[in-house]
Structure formats: structure tokens, C-alpha cells
């Protein structure tokens, strides 16, 4: 009993700053702004107002785009890393994490210097003249700067577990490279790959700082829309913001849950064999 009291501080903090606020947020999302009456109108508004559902779709597109590119990038980099000496690998991982920390305002600003409307690289390289930093490609290029390191952070430790002996055995048994990858490497990495992709997706959709510093409020993204609704001075509609955040959160939780169930199913199948 005495020992259980020791867990109280953590439980209190989780309750005060995560669980209870989330519950209150969900409740508020069912209330109208101003008059605080229960209703479903905030949710109806989401589907009726182009401004709102478009922000969701836009964020999905950029989230998916940057997650796919970031995932491929992280896989290729991790694979290339494994060919180097152990010490070099460690150093590059440190640098990669450093790149991840540079995300946000500094990252957005340096890309504006280089590739913005009067960007230096645009002046030097004519090929880039028509490149629009504030487009999907531009945003994705910027997002990759932190998506790839984040992907490496999760993928690389698992990829390091792949033993050289597996490849050797596969070679001896006459398996082709692709067959080896499909039958040995892929099943081994699949759970990590799924969860890494989900984390990248969540991160891509949830990015606020970089997007805000890069485009201001010009691109209609979910995070920027929510923050304007809950913290804006002029157009504050906290309950509508809560509804958007609840939809976003529910979407993320469902995806997480599906991916975990999928991974667990695979595990069970393996056990049966």
C-alpha cells in the first residue's frame, strides 16, 4: 500500500495534464460556442464547411506524402549505414538526430533563404527557378528534413538486428536477393515498419511549427486551423477547435489501434506455426 503511494505523482500529472483535459475537450466539442448548449452542430459544421474539411484533407495529403518519402528515405539511409564501420554509424546517427532537432522555425527560415521567392539557390541554379517552396513539393522537401531522421530513429535499430548469417544461409540455399528480402527481411521488419510509418504519418499531419513558419496561414492545414480556433484573438471558437481536435485525435487513435492489432495478429500467426 505504501509503495503504491509512490506512483501518485505520476498518476496526478497524467490526470491533470492529459486525461482530464482530453475528456473535457471531447465534451466541449459537443457544445456550441458562445451559448454552451449541447449539440452536434460542430461536427455537422466540419462536414459542411469546406474551410474545415479541406484543412483535414490537406493535412492528410502532406502527412501521407511526407511519411512515404520520409519512410523510403529512412530505409535507404539505414540500409546504407549498415555497410559502414560501427563507429561511423554511431556518428552519423548523432548527426541525424541533430538534424531532427533543427526542425521548426530555423529549418523553415533556412529554406526560405535558399528556396523562397527570392531564394539564393533559385538565383544560382536556373533549373530551380520555378520551384515553389510553398507548394506540396516544397512542404514535403522541408518536412523530409525531420521526417527522415525520425524514421531512422525507429527503423535503424531494428535493421541492425538483421544478422549476416541469414543472408549467407539464404545464399547457400539458392535464394535470390529479392526472395531473401521478401521471405526473411520483410517479415522480420514488418512490425517496426508499420509502427514507424504510423509515427511519421502522425508527425507529418501534426506538424505545426515548420508549417506555420513557412507558410503563415496561407496553406489551410489542420494544425494551423485548430490553433487559430483555440488560441486566436479574433476568430476564437474554442469548441469548434475542440471538435476538429477530437476528429483528428480519434483518427490517430484508430490508425494506431489498427496497426497494433495488425502487428499482434501477425505475431499470433507466427506462434501458431
Partner 1 sequence: MKKNIRKIPLIIFGIYFIIPIIGTFLYSTSTKWDNSILPKDFTLKWFLELFKDTAFIQAVARSFVLGLVTSMVILIIMIPTLILVRLYFPKVDRILQSIVLLPYAIPGVILVTALLGTYSMLSIPMFIVLVGALFITLLPITYLGINNQLKLINIGEMIDAASTLGASMVQIVTKIIIPNIRLGTTLVFLMVFSASFGEYMLTNLLIGGRFETIRIYMMRRMNENGHLASAVMILYFVFLLIVAIFVFIINNKQKKRYIEKSKIEEVNKQKLYGRKEDLENVFNS
CB of 195 to partner 1, least distance (A): 9
Of the candidate spans 36-44, 103-111, 176-184, 263-271, the one that interacts with partner 1 by CB under 8 A turns out to be 103-111
Q: Please state, in angstroms and as integers, the Cα–Cα distance from residue 5 to each residue in 2, 14, 16, 34, 142, following that order.
A: 5, 15, 17, 41, 47
Identify whether the C-beta of residue 156 lies closer than 8 Å to the C-beta of residue 75: no
Q: How far is the CB of 51 from partner 1 (least distance, A)?
A: 17
Q: How far is the CB of 251 from partner 1 (least distance, A)?
A: 10
Our finding on whether 155 is near partner 1 (CB under 8 A) is: no
Binders of partner 1 in range 6-25 (CB under 8 A): 6-7, 9-10, 13-14, 16-18, 20-22, 24-25
Name the residue among 59, 21, 19, 14 with its Cα closest to residue 242: 21
Give, as ranges, the residues between 168 and 207 that touch partner 1 (CB under 8 A). Answer: 198-199, 202-203, 205-207
Q: How far is the CA of 53 from the CAs of 94, 112, 221, 226, in angstroms?
A: 39, 28, 10, 12
Question: What x/- string results for residues 24 through 43 when contact with partner 1 is judged by CB under 8 A?
Answer: xx--x---------------
Q: Among residue numbers 107 through 136, which ones bind partner 1 (CB under 8 A)?
A: 107, 109-111, 113-114, 118, 120-121, 123-124
Angle between helices 50-81 and 222-231 (to 10 degrees): 130
Amino acid at each position: 500500500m505504501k509503495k503504491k503511494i509512490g506512483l501518485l505523482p505520476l498518476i496526478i500529472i497524467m490526470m491533470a495534464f492529459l486525461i482530464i483535459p482530453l475528456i473535457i475537450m471531447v465534451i466541449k466539442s459537443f457544445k456550441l460556442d458562445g451559448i454552451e448548449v449541447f449539440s452536434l452542430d460542430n461536427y455537422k459544421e466540419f462536414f459542411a464547411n469546406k474551410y474545415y474539411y479541406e484543412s483535414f484533407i490537406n493535412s492528410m495529403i502532406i502527412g501521407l506524402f511526407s511519411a512515404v518519402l520520409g519512410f523510403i528515405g529512412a530505409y535507404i539511409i539505414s540500409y546504407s549505414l549498415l555497410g559502414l564501420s560501427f563507429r561511423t554509424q554511431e556518428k552519423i546517427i548523432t548527426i541525424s538526430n541533430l538534424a531532427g532537432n533543427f526542425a521548426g522555425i530555423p529549418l523553415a527560415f533556412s529554406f526560405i533563404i535558399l528556396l523562397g521567392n527570392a531564394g539564393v539557390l533559385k538565383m544560382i541554379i536556373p533549373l530551380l527557378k520555378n520551384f515553389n517552396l510553398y507548394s506540396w513539393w516544397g512542404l514535403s522537401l522541408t518536412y523530409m528534413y525531420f521526417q527522415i531522421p525520425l524514421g531512422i530513429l525507429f527503423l535503424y535499430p531494428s535493421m541492425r538486428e538483421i544478422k549476416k548469417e541469414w543472408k549467407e544461409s539464404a545464399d547457400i540455399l539458392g535464394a535470390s536477393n529479392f526472395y531473401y528480402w521478401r521471405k526473411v527481411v520483410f517479415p522480420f521488419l514488418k512490425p517496426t515498419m508499420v509502427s514507424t510509418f504510423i509515427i511519421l504519418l502522425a508527425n507529418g499531419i501534426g506538424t505545426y511549427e515548420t508549417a506555420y513558419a513557412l507558410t503563415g496561414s496561407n496553406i489551410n492545414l489542420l494544425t494551423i486551423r485548430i490553433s487559430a480556433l483555440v488560441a486566436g484573438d479574433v476568430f476564437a471558437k474554442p469548441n469548434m477547435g475542440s471538435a476538429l481536435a477530437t476528429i483528428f485525435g480519434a483518427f490517430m487513435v484508430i490508425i494506431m489501434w489498427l496497426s497494433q492489432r495488425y502487428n499482434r495478429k501477425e505475431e499470433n500467426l507466427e506462434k501458431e506455426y
